[in-house]
Amino acid sequence: MKLTCPHCQEKFNSKDIKQMNKSSIYAEKQCPSCLAWFCQNKKLTLIKITGISLLLLTSVLNILNIYSEYQLVFSTVGFVGIFVALIITFFGKNEKVGQPNT
Ligand SMILES: [Zn+2]
């Protein structure tokens, strides 16, 4: 996956990133070119996490057969959730963040 640094506009491959702040839910990354930090837009990241959680939650409900009369509703909600999460993963913009306080 190609990423663009919001600081220096340099394009690089996500596997070129050497530093990543995993203590943040926003997955802050360091640009290999200018060494500045960035992450995906925080609002979008929250929506993405919600989408993935929805898929997990609705899948668990379906597997355990809880509220089986709503199975179709759960499947639809889960599908929409993961669909939105995927769109954000591929088209979400990166934004600048400060140095992580580690
Ligand atoms: Zn950069």
Residues of the chain with pLDDT under 50: none
pLDDT at residue 87, as a whole number: 95
pLDDT at residue 8, as a whole number: 96
Structural domains of the chain, count: 1
Q: How far is the CA of 32 from the centre of ligand 1 (A)?
A: 7
Helical (H) or strand (E) element with 59: helix 42-63
**35 is a domain residue:** yes
Q: How far is the CA of 64 from the centre of ligand 1 (A)?
A: 46
**17 is a domain residue:** yes
**102 is a domain residue:** no
Query: Tens of pLDDT along 64-74?
Result: 999 989 999 99
- Region class of 81: left (phi > 0), else alpha (psi between -120 and 50), else beta: alpha
- How is the beta sheet containing 28-30 ordered, strand by strand? 20-21, 28-30, 37-40, 94-97
pLDDT at residue 90, as a whole number: 87
**6 is a domain residue:** yes
pLDDT at residue 51, as a whole number: 96
| Structural domain boundaries enclosing 91 | 2-97
Q: How far is the CA of 97 from the centre of ligand 1 (A)?
A: 12
